[in-house]
Structure 1
Amino acid sequence: MAEDFLVKNKISPKSIDILVVNCSIFCPTPSISSMFVKRIGLRSNIRSYNLTGMGCSAGLLSVSLAKDLLKIHKNSLALVVSLESLTHNGYPGKVKSMLLTNTLFRSGGTIILLSNRKQDRRRAKYVLQHLVRINMGFDDQSYTCVFQENDEEGHVGVSLSRRTMHIASNALRTNMVRLGPLVLPYSEKIRYLWSLFLQRVCADPKSKQYIPDFKKAFEHFCIHSGGRAVIDAVEDNLSLSEEDVEPSRMALYRFGNTSSSSVWYALCYLEAKGRVKRGDRVWQIAFGSGFKCNSAVWKCVSDVDPTCSLNPWSDRIHLYPVEVPEILDT
C-alpha cells in the first residue's frame, strides 16, 4: 500500500524527511517504523517515530507530532502511517467486557502525506487549520474506562467500562470548549457567552447553557467509528443529522472499528461520494484510551477526485449508504 501511494503521488522514498507510525496494540521488535524504512527504502537519516499504546485517537496525535516537526524542519515531507493489527492480540478468555474488542475491532490502516514545501501547495487536497487534544488521564474513571489487564485466568485483554460513553461525552465537551473559539462564527460565540452571563452573573433559573451550533463552522464530520453508541453520543451532543454521521456509520458497518485510522475511512467515504468541495471544512473527532479526545480541522483547497484508485470505497461506493440491521449496528 505504501509503495502504491508514493508511486501514485510521484514521490520518491528518498524525499521523505519525517516518518510517524502509530499502532496501539501491535508492538513488535524491530518497530513498525523500522519495517517501513526497510520495506520502502527510506533514507538512513530520516526522523522516525513509532507511537504505541495511544488508543484510537492516535491517528490525529500522529498528525499533531508531524505538524510540530514540520514547524521546525522547513521544506520537508512527513509520512504519517496510522494502523492497527489485531492478529496477535485476540482475547481468548470469557470476561464479557473484554470479549467486545474481539467482535468490534478490526485491522486497518491509512497513509497521510503532510508537507510544508511551497511547491506542494498547488496539489495539496487539504490544509490543516486546527488541532486540539484533550487528555482526561488525571481522572481515575477516565483513566481506567478502556484498560488492558489480565483476567482471573491470566489472559490479557482490553476491558471496556460501561461508563465509557459518559466519559467520552465529557471529553468531547471539553474539546468543544477549546475548539469553539477557534472555529465558530461570532454569532455563535455571542449566544454562548450571553447564556453564561445569564447563568453565572444574573443567576437566572430559567436560562440554560447554550450549546453552539458547530454545523455553522463545518460542512462535514468524520467521527471515530468506535461503535454505534459512540456515533450516537456525538450525534446527540452536536445535534447532527443522519447525513452528517453517515460516513462514520458506513465505515463502522463495512470495516468495523479500525481504531486510529477510522476517521480517515470516514473522510474517504465523503470523497468517494463527491461531497467534499473546494472551501469545505472537515472536522475529525477521535476518542481513545487514557481517556483522550482529539480534534482536527481540515480545509479542502482543491478539487477531490472521487474515483481515486487508492480510495478504499471507490470499488463499491454506489452501494452505500445501506440500511444497517439492528443486530449488526452495535
Structure 2
Amino acid sequence: MSAVLETPVTRTTVFDTDPFSDLRPRILSVGLATPPYSYTQAEMIDALGITDPKIRSIFLNSAIERRNLVLPPVGPAGGLRIESQGDLLDKHKRAALEFGAQALLRCLDQIGLDPAHLGHLCCVTSTGFLTPGLSAHLIKEVGIGRHCSRSDIVGMGCNAGLNALGVVSGWAQAHPGQVAVVLCIENCSAAYAYDATMRTAVVNSLFGDGAAAVAIGAREAGADDIGPMDAPVEGPRILKFASCLVPEAIDAMRYDWDRGLDRFSFYLDPQIPYVVGAHAELVVDRLLADTGLYRSDIKHWLVHSGGKKVIDAVMVNLGLSRYDLRHTSGVLRDHGNVSSGSFLFSYQRLAQENAGQPGDYGLMMTMGPGSTLETALLRW
C-alpha cells in the first residue's frame, strides 16, 4: 500500500506582502517609573484603619501583594490626614511631573534620543485636571524642544493608553522619521477617598501609582532607521486597532463628584468583569477580521491589569491560559491596577524576556469607562 503524501497547507495573512510595512509605526522603547514608596495590602489596611472583616477580605483576596502610592502624612488623630480636593490636585501635578518625567527620560534614553528631538508628546491621565495639561509642563521640565507638537487625553480611564496609541500611531505614520511618545501618568492616590463604604474600599484596594512611556515611529521610505535615533529599531509593528463600546454599561465605571465627601471619587460596578468578559471575544474577532489570523495565531497577550476577576473573565472567554496572561497577573501582583499604563508595564516584562521573535503576533487589550474595550494587533 503506497503512502499518501499530504500537501502542506499554508495560510497567507494580509500583512505578509504588505508593501507599506516599513511605514507602519513601530514600538521603539518603553520606560516605566513609580513612586519610591511601596505598600503591602496588609500595610494599607493598617494605614486606613480598616477593621470590617468584609472590607479586609477585599484587600487580602485581591491577588495584589504590593502597590506604589503617594500617601498623605499621618494626621493628629493617628490615621492618614484627609486631603482636600485642592490638596489632591496639587499632589497630582507634583507627583505626575516627577515620575512622569522619569518614565519619559528612561524611554528616550533606551533609543538614544535627545528630548530636544522629540516630535510629538501625548500625555494620558485620569487622576487630575490641569490647564495647560501635563504635556506642556513636561516639555518645560524635561527640556523638550518648543516646536514639539503635543496632545493630552484626560479622563478616558484605564483604556486610554490604547486610545492614545491609536491616535499617535497615525501621527507617526504621517511624520515618518520622527519619534512620538505616549506617556500614561496615573497618580491614583490623588483620586482616593477615605471612608467606610464598600464603594471606596473596592477602589482603595486596587489602584496604584505609576507612569509608562512608549516611543513609536515609522521609517521614511528607503531609510535604514528612524530619524535622530542612535539605537536600532527592534520592536514590533503596530498593525491594526479595534474598539468596542458598551453604551448600556456607561455608568459601570466612573469618576464623578461625590457630594457626601465633597470631592471626586471612583465607582466600580461589581458586574464589570462580566461586562468585559462578555465583549472580549467580540472585539478580538473584530480586530482579527480580514487579516487571515485566528486567535490561536496570537502568541503574546498584553492585557490591562484591571483586577483578578477581570483577568479571569478575559482568560475564560478567550480560552487563554494563565501563562498567556502571566505578565498581566504579575503587574497586578506587584503594582496593582496602574490604570492607563498597565498594559505597558506588561509589555516591558515581555520585552525583558526577549520573547517576541520575528513573525510573532501579539495583542494588546485595555478596558475602562464607557464601558470600553480597546485592542491593538502587533507583529514582531
TM exceeding 0.5: yes
Task: Summarize the Cα distance change of 1:221–1:93 in structure 2 as closer, same or farther, 3 Å threshold.
Answer: same
* Whole-angstrom CA distance in 2 between matches of 1:287 and 1:152: 27
Report what 2:349 is aligned to: 269
Task: Summarize the Cα distance change of 1:43–1:294 in structure 2 as closer, same or farther, 3 Å threshold.
Answer: same
- Of the candidates 346, 368, 373, which is equivalent to residue 288 of structure 1? 368
Report what 1:207 is aligned to: none
Letter in 1 for 2:123: V
Letter in 1 for 2:237: V
SS of 1:22's equivalent?
strand
Task: Summarize the Cα distance change of 1:123–1:73 in structure 2 as closer, same or farther, 3 Å threshold.
Answer: closer
Report what 1:103 is aligned to: 205
Contact 1:95 1:151 in 2 (8 A): no
* Whole-angstrom CA distance in 2 between matches of 1:47 and 1:80: 12
Note the C-alpha offset of 1:47: 1.3
SS of 1:91's equivalent?
coil
Report what 2:144 is aligned to: 42
SS of 2:298's equivalent?
coil
* Whole-angstrom CA distance in 1 between matches of 2:245 and 2:377: 18
Contact 1:93 1:153 in 2 (8 A): no
Note the C-alpha offset of 1:166: 2.0
Report what 2:105 is aligned to: 3
Which is further off, 65-74 or 277-286? 65-74
Report what 1:21 is aligned to: 123
Per-residue CA deviations over 1:147-188 (Å, capped at 9, x if unaligned) read 223446234311111221222123323312311314454xx5
TM-score normalized by the length of structure 2: 0.67
Note the C-alpha offset of 1:285: 0.9
Report what 1:153 is aligned to: 260
Contact 2:159 2:373 in 1 (8 A): yes
Letter in 1 for 2:244: I
Task: Summarize the Cα distance change of 1:294–1:10 in structure 2 as closer, same or farther, 3 Å threshold.
Answer: same
Contact 1:223 1:284 in 2 (8 A): yes
- The runs of 5 or more residues in structure 2 that have no matched partner are 1-101, 227-231
Q: Does 1:128 align with 2:238?
A: yes
Q: How much is the aligned-residue C-alpha RMSD, in angstroms?
A: 1.9
Q: Does 1:87 align with 2:189?
A: yes
- Of the candidates 175, 178, 181, which is equivalent to residue 283 of structure 2? 175
Per-residue CA deviations over 1:56-115 (Å, capped at 9, x if unaligned) read 111111111101222333432211111211232111233312321111000111111111
**The structure with more radius of gyration:** 2
The structure whose residues are more often helix, as a share, is 1
Report what 1:113 is aligned to: 215
- Of the candidates 269, 272, 276, which is equivalent to residue 164 of structure 1? 272
SS of 1:88's equivalent?
helix
- The runs of 5 or more residues in structure 1 that have no matched partner are 189-213, 301-330
Task: Summarize the Cα distance change of 1:112–1:6 in structure 2 as closer, same or farther, 3 Å threshold.
Answer: same
Letter in 1 for 2:273: M
